[in-house]
Amino acid sequence: MPAEPTPAALPVAAARRRRLRADRARQLADLLRHQILAGGFPSGVLPLEDAIAADYRASRNTVRQALDLLRGERLVDRQPGVGTVVVCVKYPHGLDRLQGLAETLHEHGRVTNEVRTVGPVTAPGPVAHRLGLPEHTDVLCIERLRRLNGLPLSLDLSYLPMDVGGELLGCDLENTDVFRLLESLTGAPLGHAEITLEAVNADAHSAAVLQAPRGAAVLMLERLTCLSDGRPVDLEFIRFRGDRITMSGLLHRSV
């Protein structure tokens, strides 16, 4: 039988309880986050704290702390007289095949693009290298702020070889995915893309452009897209607002 705790052990025990509660709150927040993102609260209002506590067999303190975490992520907010309401929608970007933004989000509304920069620039060494071009060749540089139903979603910077990109200059970049324009210009479907995803904190300037708080978590996608013959034609650096986009797909164990 364990000995009674000595007075010296009490602060340790209290610290351990606090740590355990913080762990449980995070675990509960993760479950609630999934429910929120999966549309599990169609009314937009979460159940009362007591009901959540009963459903998840958690204490009210744990529930409160979990809701605080979700408030900190700006997923929910507390509304006097209403309760805890969902204030943020995250849109699912497909990760199973190569798709443009308007294409992958077509069920969720209209994507519009504010073209911030468009024109030829001398390709920096690594850009030329990745696009398979000689150094110091001109490439087309396009920067767009992309919105879904008017809300800023992402800031995209693209570099394209001039022979392909030049033809984009006369196209409707405001309302059309570059992928779709490339396919209609080349008359053939795109091939594949190498992608790299990272989570980074937004610097002050990117945050301001995306209308997000400074330091907000950003899902950063680097994507090198190739034609079906393997020629790289579009090198992109995309910053998605972390509070507005998820990336979902299916992975298989065997390849």
Residues 143-202 that bind its own copies (CB under 8 A): 143, 157, 189-201
- Are 73 and 37 contacting, i.e. CB atoms less than 8 angstroms apart? no
Judged by CB under 8 A, the residue of 41, 73, 89, 118 near its own copies is: 73
Candidates 35-43, 80-88, 106-114, 161-169: pick the segment binding its own copies (CB under 8 A): 35-43
Cα angle, residue 196 at apex, residues 213 and 227 outer, rounded to 5°: 120
Asked if residue 237 binds its own copies (CB under 8 A), the reply is yes
> Which amino acid makes up residue 93?
H
With 0-12 CB in 10 A as exposed, 13-18 as middle and 19+ as buried, what is 88?
middle
**Footprint on residues 90-129 left by its own copies (CB under 8 A):** 90, 92, 95-98, 116-117, 122, 124-127
Q: Which is nearer to its own copies, 8 or 199 (CB)?
A: 199
CB 247 within 8 A of CB 219: yes
If 0-12 CB within 10 Å is exposed, 13-18 middle and 19+ buried, where does residue 139 land?
A: buried
4/229 with CB nearer its own copies: 229
Alpha carbons 211 and 170: distance in angstroms, whole number: 29
Q: How far is the CB of 7 from its own copies (least distance, A)?
A: 26
Q: Does 57 bind its own copies (CB under 8 A)?
A: yes
> Binding-site residue total for its own copies (CB under 8 A)?
73
Residue in 13, 22, 151, 169 binding its own copies, rule: CB under 8 A: 22
